[in-house]
Amino acid sequence: MRGAGALLAAALLWSSPPAPAHHAPNSYLRLDFRADSVLARMMIPRSELAFAMGDAPTEAALPGYLLKHIAAATPHGAAWAVKVSSVHATNYLEQPYFTAELELLPPLGASPRNFTLTADAVTHEVRNHVVVVVVEHDAADAAPSSRAHVLGALQYPARSLVIDRRRPSPAL
């Protein structure tokens, strides 16, 4: 009984193709721990970014915007240098995303494995949005795993995550 007769009604009502996914998309901040820096690959859904930026986001506008919303600092509060290496449009789960690559450089003498990461490019505005912080690779892992894992998640009002990987990574 279920489903019968729905086709005609639906076809009459709607002609747009269906979207494949069904959730407000999250951001992903994928970290690659290197010997003296951290490479951060930020994946931000365009739809949610538009709410946060208050305008249609563009590749050209994104580097400057991200530098205001992504930061790292030593445990004592000294700021790391942050550089946006690239920004490009992409798709994830068939939704439009931007992927930005950022290099995070600690001050001279500071550990690149112990810092406070701040990321609120969307979450400062979109209350349900979550930034999933992921370790994608760590050069210090004795036995690197191909399986990335989640370090934490940021949702308003949380905007910062303390990261301390000075000890060897646990087995993944």
Partner 1 sequence: MKATLTLGCLLLAAPLGAMAATAADCASAGGGEIKPVLAAVSALHDVLTPPQRALMERPLTRESAIQWSNLPVALVPRAGLRLGDLDPKQDAAAQKVFAAALSACGLKLLEEVRTADDFLKPLDKDSIGWDGGNYYLSVLGQPSPRTPWMLQVGGHHIAYNLVFNGQQAGATPMFFGTEPLRFEYQGVTHEPMDAQGSAMRKLAAAIAVHEKAKLSGTFTDVVKGVQMKRVPGARFPGGGTDIGFPLTYPNGTEDRGILYPALDAEQRALVRAALRSYASLPGSAISRPLISAYESDAALRDTYVGYSGATTLDARGSYVRIDGQRIWMEFVVQPAVANPAEIHYHALWRDKLADYGGEVGH
> Under the rule (CB under 8 A), what is the footprint of partner 1?
1-7, 9-11, 13-14, 16-24, 26, 28, 30, 43, 47-48, 51-52, 92-93, 125-130, 132, 134, 136, 148-150, 153, 155-157
**Closer CB to partner 1, 90 or 111, in the complex:** 90
Which among 85, 82, 120 is positioned nearest to 100, based on CA atoms?
A: 85
140, burial (CB in 10 Å: exposed 0-12, middle 13-18, buried 19+): middle
Asked if 159 and 120 touch (Cβ cutoff 8 Å), the reply is: yes
The tokens 């930034």 sit on which residue? 131
Min dist CB 108 to partner 1, Å, is 32
Min dist CB 92 to partner 1, Å, is 6
Min dist CB 72 to partner 1, Å, is 20
Which among 33, 100, 39 is positioned nearest to 64, based on CA atoms?
A: 100
**Closer CB to partner 1, 63 or 152, in the complex:** 152
Q: DSSP assignment, residue 28? A: E
**Closer CB to partner 1, 43 or 121, in the complex:** 43
Region at 5 (left for phi over 0; alpha for psi -120 to 50; beta for the rest):
left
Q: How far apart are CA 84 and CA 73, in angstroms?
A: 16
Min dist CB 133 to partner 1, Å, is 10
Min dist CB 119 to partner 1, Å, is 15
**Closer CB to partner 1, 14 or 167, in the complex:** 14
**Closer CB to partner 1, 108 or 146, in the complex:** 146
